[in-house]
Amino acid sequence: MEINEELIFEQTTKLLNIADNDVVNDPLQIAEELRSIINYLDWKYYVKSETLVQDYDYDRLYKLLRKIEEENPDLITEDSPTRRVARGLSTSFPTVRHMKPMLSLDNSYNYTDLKDFDLRVKKLSGQETVEYCVEPKFDGSSIALVYENNMLVRAATRGDGNQGDDITNNAKTIRSIPLSADFLRLGIARVELRGEVVISQNFFHKMNKEREGLGLPAFQNARNTASGGLRMKDSKEVAKRGLEAFIYQIGIAEDDNGEDKTLELISQSKSIDLLHDLGFKTTKQGFSVFNAMEDVLSYCHAWESKREGYPYEIDGMVVKANRFETQEQVGYTSHHPRWAIAFKFKAKQARSKLERIEYQVGRTGAITPVAKITPVSLAGVTISSVSLHNEDFIKDKELHLNDIIIVERAGDVIPYIVGPVIEERTNDAVEIKFPEECPSCSSPLVKEKEEVAWRCVNIDCPAQTEERLIHFVSKGAMNIDGLGKDIIRRFYKEEIIKHIPDLYRLNYDQILQLEGWKQKSVENLRSGIEKSKENETWRLLVGLGIRHVGSTTAKMLSKHVRNIKEFSKWDIEALTALEDIGPIVAESLYDFFRNDSNLKLLDELEELGVNMERKETMNVGNLLQGKSFLFTGSMQKLTRDRAKELVEQNGGKILSSVSKNLNFLVVGEKAGSKLTKAQGIETIEIIDEDSFLKMIGE
């Protein structure tokens, strides 16, 4: 890839002159030069992390290329850098089959595991010495790239290993992925590469700072942000996520007769060198080749110790038999290659001190002990609270107040207390006594047989009431806009709201007088609350906080009655007969709907205007009036019959084929010829299942 940089500067200066004078005599020649310069600058910047020209100059070159291509569309090539720009929204990501399954890796944690692996490889290959290539294991989201005749033709996520989502357009926005690469010079006509899409630590923190400034919630970790980024519908947004792709493997390489070419590439280390030379960002900087497992282990440890300062998240190393011939001899299980193993780094840990324990009361009365620890930074996040789950957890770990403790981030998100450092326990250590009374209402706590949690069973317990209110208004339940957790806590404390029905009796003039409230926020609150009265009944069922009733069960339940109060007449048998309802859920529903105060609450809410009736009857009408629909591909949430029913109930029409009369084509997975045909008719709007459901307010 490296070219004489003198020449690059000379050519860049010439092209910038052309951009300034705006006279292009030979568009074909200039477009070609611009493309190769921009591709080179991209490679330098995104693969080698070197800046050769100022952003301003880069933009001028780019704009000139775009202008020439706009004026001469026949000059556009598929690998032009202008093709990286998003072209509209992706309505769905079709499922595609990988050329070869994307397997997982077996794990190892210590020298013994590595030795065993080495012995197995030697036995299966019949060799006495085996070369191993050891490289960093990036913690991101896997990707498979297919190049045909040098062109990137497909990018897919790992999915279930056999098939993944086609995310080609999104992958094209990742500048470290070349849109074309010269595999043909090696006689390779088709190749499938594997790699990991990551976000650098720096970029991740920068992005979170910006989000904080905009009042948006911070992203939890780089891995999930990368994997979410690959699946975003708007490729313009993908481009803002700072995604980078490290390619670590050639999965398949074939010549134009479909003959396998991998063996000719000799080894993992040679193929990484090759990919690097072809312009890919690879593990070249990180790999090394060894024969002895002791050396493999020290290399892994050396990486483990520099892990914190490394710009990308790595969670271990991958040890691979280097020669492809050996790999072939050693083979695969259905889950992982036998010729490779991951050496996992220890979970990230930190020391801190257990200062005190707070006992939180949940909406069902369950008491959760939460450790308040001296704030400590762990993998980029400051941790001061860690859940201790229940009394047994504290006993099993033999935790004492004032203990020095080890905190770990399991799955790198949720902090976890590994245990106390017993050797460092001092006389300050105080045994932890689980409270016998509710910290909120002082009722005695009880523990049911077979349960681990202590509970406060006082239905009027203020802490529970507050949590129930928070749950009632939350997104997954009544979804009341303008009314978050903090506002509920404040209103509860100031006795503006004592019980759920008070939400519908708010005195908005009084709220306007409160500090921090303005006309606009009060209006938002009022409209959020008013809107919630019209919610479908499943939201209310979730909001009531009936134990074991989440949104799936609530949606199912709401279909079986016209008014949810009818459940007060159902017996256990009738409830158990419903789909997916077992004896525990049935009993919980039965208890809820036979309790007088709960029924009183429902009456009160109904009187205040909260909807208790099944929506369909109210909503049949005109949402889709005069619009025609056709469904193609397989849907995730709807059956064909249900989809048809919904269209008709909302006043729309179903068509049986794609024609100019069609307004909407709803595409599911593996959509075929109907989609292709519809793409040729401009007036047809192509949408996915979720957008369709949104149209009808589902």
Binder among 39, 80, 108, 142 for ligand IVH (CB under 6 A): 142
Q: Does 412 bind ligand IVH (CB under 6 A)?
A: no
Beta strands in 306-413 (DSSP E): 314-321, 340-344, 349-361, 367-378, 381-387, 400-401, 404-410
Is 303 a binder of ligand IVH (CB under 6 A)? no
Q: Work out how close the CB of 291 gets to ligand IVH at its nearest, in angstroms, rounded to a whole number.
A: 20
Which listed residue (130, 189, 318, 630) binds ligand IVH by CB under 6 A? 318
Nearer to ligand IVH, 35 or 158 (CB): 158
Please pick, from the candidates 11, 36, 77, 104, the single residue that binds ligand IVH as defined by CB under 6 A: 104
Binding-site string for ligand IVH from residue 365 to residue 404, where x marks contact by CB under 6 A and - marks none: ----------------------------------------
Nearest CA-CA partner of 105 in 158, 164, 149: 158
Of all helices (H) and strands (E), which one includes residue 619? helix 615-619
**Closer to ligand IVH by Cβ: residue 105 or 230:** 105
Nearest distance, CB of residue 138 and ligand IVH, angstroms = 4
Q: Which phi and psi (to 5°) does residue 686 adopt?
A: -100, 120
3-state secondary structure of 192: strand
Q: How far is the CB of 354 from ligand IVH (least distance, A)?
A: 35
Stretch that binds ligand IVH, among 69-77, 132-140, 305-313, 663-671 (CB under 6 A): 132-140
Least Å distance between CB 481 and ligand IVH? 39
Stretch that binds ligand IVH, among 137-145, 432-440, 632-640, 680-688 (CB under 6 A): 137-145
Q: Does 137 bind ligand IVH (CB under 6 A)?
A: yes
Q: Which stretch binds ligand IVH (CB under 6 A): 11-19, 103-111, 372-380, 450-458?
A: 103-111
138: contact with ligand IVH by CB under 6 A:
yes
326 is an interface residue for ligand IVH by CB under 6 A: no
In the three-class reduction of DSSP (H, G, I as helix; E, B as strand; rest coil), residue 446 is classed as: strand
Q: Of 105 and 643, which has the nearer Cβ to ligand IVH?
A: 105
Q: Which of 41, 105, 541, 643 binds ligand IVH (CB under 6 A)?
A: 105
Shortest Å, Cβ 303 to ligand IVH? 12
| Nearest distance, CB of residue 105 and ligand IVH, angstroms | 4
Q: Are 242 and 200 in contact (CB under 8 A)?
A: yes
Complex with ligand IVH: residue 246 or 631, whichever CB lies closer: 246
Strand partners for 143? 157, 195
Q: How far is the CB of 106 from ligand IVH (least distance, A)?
A: 9
Q: For residue 46, state whether it binds ligand IVH (rule: CB under 6 A).
A: no
Q: Which two tokens stand for residue 78?
A: 């598929």
Q: Measured from the CB atom, is 81 or 337 closer to ligand IVH? A: 337
Phi/psi of residue 385, nearest 5 degrees: -130, 135
Asked if 288 is part of the footprint of ligand IVH (rule: CB under 6 A), the reply reads no
Contact 120, 130 (CB under 8 A): no
Nearest C-alpha neighbor of 319 from the set 351, 285, 293 = 293
DSSP-assigned letters across all residues of 248-300:
EEEEEEE-TT--B-GGGG-BHHHHHHHHHHTT--BSTTT-EEESSHHHHHHHH
Q: Does 103 bind ligand IVH (CB under 6 A)?
A: yes
CB of 317 or CB of 678, closer to ligand IVH:
317
For residue 191, give the DSSP letter: E
Across the beta sheet with 628-632, the strand order is: 653-654, 628-632, 664-667, 685-688
The whole-angstrom separation of Cα 594 and Cα 435 is: 32
- Give the residue closest to ligand IVH by C-beta: 142
Site for ligand IVH in 205-244 (CB under 6 A): none
- Position among 46, 248, 590, 692 found at the interface with ligand IVH (CB under 6 A): 248
Q: Candidates 131-139, 502-510, 551-559, 577-585 — which segment interacts with ligand IVH by CB under 6 A? A: 131-139
Torsion of CA 419, 421, 426, 429, to 10 degrees: 0
The verdict on 464 binding ligand IVH (CB under 6 A) reads no
User: In whole angstroms, how close is the CB of 64 to ligand IVH at the nearest point?
Assistant: 38
Q: How far apart are CA 375 and CA 695, in angstroms?
A: 47
Number of residues that bind ligand IVH (CB under 6 A): 14
User: Which of the residues are catalytic?
Assistant: 137
d(CA 120, CA 111): 14
Nearest distance from C-beta of residue 287 to ligand IVH, angstroms: 8
Give the strand pairing for 381-387 and 151-157.
unpaired
Q: Does 649 bind ligand IVH (CB under 6 A)?
A: no
Helix, strand, coil share (%) of the chain residues, nearest 5: 40, 20, 40
User: Exposure string (b/e) for 386-396, b if CB count within 10 Å is 16 or more?
Assistant: bebbbbeebee
| Dist. CA 332–CA 251, nearest whole Å | 13
Among 95, 283, 558, 611, binds ligand IVH (CB under 6 A): 283
Kindly tell me which of 321 and 497 has the beta carbon lying closer to ligand IVH. Answer: 321
User: Across the beta sheet with 190-199, what order do the strands follow?
Assistant: 151-157, 141-148, 190-199, 243-254
Find the part of the chain contacting ligand IVH (CB under 6 A) among 102-110, 111-119, 295-303, 544-552. Answer: 102-110
CA–CA separation, 9 and 269 (whole Å):
33
Query: Site for ligand IVH (CB under 6 A): which residue of 178, 242, 279, 337?
Result: 337
Residue 589 in the binding site for ligand IVH (CB under 6 A): no
Residues comprising the chain, all counted: 698
DSSP assignment of 284-296 equals TTT-EEESSHHHH
Q: Which residues contact ligand IVH by CB under 6 A?
A: 103-105, 135, 137-138, 142, 196, 248-249, 283, 318, 337, 340
